[in-house]
Structure 1
Amino acid sequence: KVTWSPPEEGKLKCNINGACRGNPGMGSCGFCLRNHTGDLVFAKAKGIWMTTNMEAEALAIYEALSYFHGNGFRQVIIETDSLCLKRMILKQWRVPWEMVERIEKIRNRLQ
């Protein structure tokens, strides 16, 4: 059973996702930001170029981080359904060469 739980008061929770039709294929990515009561604060989604599922997931998290950075959000919990992406960002798994630049940009935004 999968459930969503709100963040503690004073924090926001961001859920991200990226996907493509085929792998590779035409992709899309997006994220939504909710507060401690579960109310939607902001959401964004967009279609993207020919890509892979992993690249779409990475672009979704980068887009979310860029939004937080540009709007002064600091207390944000990010949730993703991509264990691979999470482990690459945390330097627990090797990053494929074609993803190195995007993962580095994500790591820089996290700082």
Structure 2
Amino acid sequence: MSNDNTIVPFKPKLVEPVTHEVTEPAADADVIKMLEFYLEKARTGKITFAAIAFIDEAGAATSTWAPESYPNEQATTKAIGAVAYLNARFMNSVVNCERAADDWEGPEKA
């Protein structure tokens, strides 16, 4: 195979910039329903630990939990297990595009 050193001109395709309309974030009814459902359980003493991971209106991801400390190692171990189990179920739902059977189904099914 021979090379004739032919120069092939490069013609870039010009693209128009895309603009996105900025809108105010809307409240998600499912998020509100889930939080209110578990808030009521916490108010009646049925929940002794909670951890939450969330994405705010700016797209920043964060997490928190309460209470910050536990009276004994057994409670701490249960809290760690609950968070690990949530992580595993969430990752499975992302990979398999389906929710686990024991996921929150809303107050109407509780």
Query: Shared fold (TM-score greater than 0.5)?
Result: no
Which structure would you say has the larger RCO, counting Cα contacts within 8 Å and 6 or more residues apart? 1
More strand by share: 1
TM-score (structure 1 length as normaliser): 0.24
Larger radius of gyration: 2
